[in-house]
Amino acid sequence: MRTPIAKVTPGLEHAKVVGFVHEIRDLGGLTFVLLRDRTGILQVTVPKKRVPPGVAEAVRSVSRESVVVVSGKIAATEKAPGGRELVPSSFEVVSRAESPLPLDVAEKVPAEIDTRLDVRFLDARRPRIAAIFEVRSAVLHEVARFLHRHEFVQITTPKIVAAATEGGTELFPIAYFEKEAFLNQSPQLYKQMMMGAGFEKVFEIGPIFRAEEHNTTRHLNEATSIDVEASFADQEDVMHLLEDLVSSCYGHVAATCADALGRGGFEPLDVPRTPFPRLPYTEAIEIAADGIEEPIGFGDDLSPAAERAIGEEMGGHYFVVDWPTAIRPYYAMPYDDDPSLCRAFDLMHPRMELSSGAQRVHDHEMLERQLVAKGLDPASFEFYLRPFRYGMPPHAGWGLGVERFVMTMLGLSNVREAVLFPRDRHRLVP
């Protein structure tokens, strides 16, 4: 039976291990082969004169990153990494790797992200990269667990939609038989319709598509969104839910990914403390105005420079609340006493925006008015507006970008690092 490398301890007598050849150091009569599986690295020590001839020959001819099956005696020794080494009685090359490699998995020579993404399967063999995706998996697992525990129903909604229903961002057009269709930018309208269906609490984890021609380290054209919507809830309720979820994800990653983070060279995570500060938009603008060169005032969106200036001031996660109605989508609920402000919020990490949400407009007439105010035609929103005429509970929700969440959690410099196969302005393959 095969033993994962992390389980190969000095106390074992014999083990069979499988993995990739990470490095070969041939000292002449003695060869060290570092064998890597996803749990760690094991030194295979080959004294040429004291192993079967077939083993010595296989070790001599094997190439880096080949897949091998090795079994032999485990010896406890101070001289080997991890305090143990394997002296092989058999060394079988299952799949020989071509040479030269398009990427140095052992990380002696760095590679640019573009080179790395071209051969992502090799890039992902690096413990640091594997750790990122172990963390991403743990985050998604915890999100689902957390929301299920809070009695949310997981839904999936169409990614092929009929029209550019929300305005704003550009959509990718596709051919849908004889009709024109688009890739969906957000499950927003669908999750709201499910409030009309009486599901009360829903969430979706799924892809969203944005046809923006940006070229930055924090934008993707295909991203993964965690979307939540809850009935009989206001913006404060869903902000509580969001900050608890964020904190809970950090906690779960810290608890379950410590080994992977260590192998990948990441520092242990600090779990952010809740509640996160609530910074009113007007105060955020004041901080930004003091901190940046460009002029900024009420009614402006927060530029990346403004976000960084405010983030520096705040130091950790925070919410920007009470936004001008004019710069939020039509479905954000204005305050009764001052309709120029609305019940919308953004969740910010000091480096960038992670999530945005709001209490929604649930009144049919008000929703129609706001659509018109944004220059949209209510007629083309009929499928969305209809549920608002047959009993729509008050509701609130948010969307959280998985890639940015993982990126800020691990301090990654480029959002592409947080997706296996990113889709950006230029990349469609692999």
80 near RNA (CB under 7 A): yes
Nearer to RNA, 167 or 277 (CB): 167
How do beta strands 67-76 and 84-95 pair? Answer: antiparallel
Characterize the bridge pairing of strands 201-209 and 179-183: unpaired
Per CB under 7 A, 278 contacts RNA: no
| 377-406: contacts with RNA (CB under 7 A) | 399
- Tell me the C-alpha distance between 54 and 330, whole Å: 73
If one asks whether residue 342 binds RNA (CB under 7 A), the answer comes out as no
Task: In whole angstroms, give the CA distance from residue 304 to residue 159.
Answer: 29
Distances (CA, A) of 142 to 226, 246, 249, 250, 269: 12, 10, 6, 9, 16
Minimal distance in Å, beta carbon 315 to RNA?
20
**What Cα–Cα distance (Å) separates residue 206 from each residue in 124, 149, 292?**
22, 20, 36
Under rule CB under 7 A, residue 43 binds RNA: yes
334: left (phi over 0), alpha (psi -120 to 50) or beta: beta
> Does residue 240 belong to the site contacting RNA (CB under 7 A)?
no
Residue (of 128, 96, 42) closest to 412 by Cα position: 128
Cβ 166 to RNA, closest distance in Å? 4
Only one of the segments 43-51, 142-150, 172-180, 245-253 lies at the binding site for RNA (rule: CB under 7 A); that segment is 43-51
Q: Which of 16, 38, 48, 141 binds RNA (CB under 7 A)?
A: 48
**Which segment (12-20, 253-261, 301-309, 388-396) binds RNA by CB under 7 A?**
301-309
Q: Are 191 and 157 in contact (CB under 8 A)?
A: yes
- Could you tell me the two tokens for 85? 């080494």
Output 208 or 314, the one with its CB closest to RNA: 208
**Calpha distance 359→114 (Å, rounded):** 40
Per rule CB under 7 A, is residue 208 in the interface with RNA? yes
Q: How far is the CB of 103 from RNA (least distance, A)?
A: 6
Q: Which stretch binds RNA (CB under 7 A): 151-159, 172-180, 185-193, 284-292?
A: 185-193
The stretch among 144-152, 274-282, 303-311, 388-396 that binds RNA (CB under 7 A) is: 303-311
- Contact flag: residue 23 with RNA (CB under 7 A): yes
**Among residue numbers 356 through 375, which ones bind RNA (CB under 7 A)?**
356
303 binds RNA (CB under 7 A): yes
Q: Which one among 2, 7, 26, 340 touches RNA, defined by CB under 7 A? A: 26
In angstroms, the CA 423 to CA 223 distance is 8
* Residue of 39, 157, 224, 225 that binds RNA (CB under 7 A): 225
The reply to whether 218 sits near RNA by the rule CB under 7 A is yes
Q: Are 162 and 178 in contact (CB under 8 A)?
A: no
- CA dihedral for 292, 294, 298, 303, sign (positive or negative): negative
Size of the site for RNA (CB under 7 A): 71
Return d(Cα 408, Cα 351) in angstroms, integer.
Answer: 7
Per-residue binding string, RNA, 50-69, x by CB under 7 A, is x------------xx-----
Candidate residues 305, 366, 412, 420; the one interacting with RNA per rule CB under 7 A: 305
Site for RNA in 144-183 (CB under 7 A): 166-170
Q: Within a 10 A sphere around the Cβ of 94, how many other Cβ atoms?
A: 9
Do the Cβ atoms of 332 and 344 come closer than 8 Å? Answer: yes
Pick the stretch among 197-205, 218-226, 239-247, 364-372 that binds RNA (CB under 7 A). Answer: 218-226
Instruction: Give the separation between CA 82 and CA 84, rounded to whole angstroms.
Output: 6
* β-strand pairing of 153-154 with 173-176: unpaired
In the list 2, 73, 214, 389, the residue contacting RNA (rule: CB under 7 A) is 214
Question: Do 40 and 263 meet the contact criterion of CB atoms below 8 Å apart?
Answer: yes
Nearest to 155 by CA among 144, 165, 166, 164: 144
Q: If binding is defined by CB under 7 A, does position 30 make contact with RNA?
A: yes
Tell me which of 1, 13, 27, 390 binds RNA, using CB under 7 A: 27
Tell me which residues in 96-115 interact with RNA (CB under 7 A): 99-104, 108-115
In angstroms, give the least distance from the CB of 272 to RNA. Answer: 22
Tell me the closest approach of the beta carbon of residue 367 to RNA, in angstroms: 13
Our CB check for RNA shows the closer of 2 and 25 to be: 25
**Cα distance between residue 424 and residue 416, in whole Å:** 8
Candidate list 71, 89, 90, 217; residue touching RNA; CB under 7 A: 217
> Can residue 259 be called a binding residue for RNA (CB under 7 A)?
no
Specify the residue, 126 or 252, whose C-beta has the smaller distance to RNA: 126
